[in-house]
Amino acid sequence: MVGRNLTILVEFILLGFSDLHKHQGILFGIFLIMYISILLGNGLIILITKIDSSLQTPMYFFLGNLSFLEICYTSVTLPRIMMSLWTKKINISFLNCALQLCLLLTLGGTECLLLAAMAYDRYVAICKPLYYSVIMNYKVCIQLVIGSWISTMLVVIGQTCQIFSLPFCGSNKLNHLFCDILPLLKLTCGETSINELFVYVVAVLFVMAPFLLIIWSYANIITTILNLPVGMGRSKAFSTCSSHLIVVVLFFGSATITYLRPKSAYAPGIDKVLSLFYTIVTPMFNPLIYGLRNKDVIAALRKILCK
């Protein structure tokens, strides 16, 4: 029993797609294409927002930071998934698992807060246009981004230490694509109700609270837009906000179902699919959603290509 626990403390087995032996080559190819598209698409958004003077506004400042965050978020999980598919090695050390969980939660929580900051930016721009340059000045934008990173990091480090200080017993097989909270708690023994409560509290703070702020912002935005005279910039305002709303629905929808549903409803297969949405699908579609639906981004891209 001592040897068994020692093995569990040394490494975990990430089952991932190990049951799909015949399709692992195809999956590797699909994930490789997706990862390259994520790097290129989000990298292009960062480049455009940095070098084009017409995009030096708070909205595009947040968009550039979101794209950087998406690249980091995907890079924490997807390269390791691809490596497992290619080499058939599905073990991950105890320390690397803790590091992956810490980075994943930090980046995920930061993205939730950043999406809320972007919604607040649109609220000020549409509902309080005369005060926009005063409220959303460069200093405030920097503070919102740094505050999102630091506040999430402090909470997540404590949560990660708490989870990995629990005793692990039984199987060391994680039926998931990467190290995540709920699959890890399934492997712990003893009383974990306090830890599960802490998971829900953190999820409410970093998922539900930003989501409610976004809903409040867009409720005010829609009311303001509908009160505008016909033709007074309604379509442009709706177009700008709809891109952000699509990303919010994709990201928050999958994250909410994953972390806030009852423990009795936990299903590894569903969790794997949902995890692909908020770690891969959303980062891949962000450049398309914001780029193809945004005339300013398209114009800036044409300008760069012409040069």
pLDDT, position 6: 40
CB half-sphere exposure, 5, CA atoms < 13 A: 8
pLDDT, position 1: 40
**What is the domain range of residue 137?**
2-306
pLDDT, position 8: 45
Query: Which H or E element spans position 12?
Result: strand 11-14
pLDDT, position 7: 42
Number of domains in the chain: 1
pLDDT, position 177: 86
Nearest Cα neighbor of 289 from 297, 279, 301 is: 297
CB half-sphere exposure, 215, CA atoms < 13 A: 9
Rounded Cα–Cα distance for residues 223 and 39 (Å) = 37
The alpha carbon of 93 is separated from its chain's Cα centroid by a whole number of angstroms, namely: 24
CATH number of the domain that 39 lies in? 1.20.1070.10
Question: pTM of this prediction?
Answer: 0.86
pLDDT beneath 70, residues of the chain: 1-9, 20, 170, 230-240, 260-269, 292-293, 307
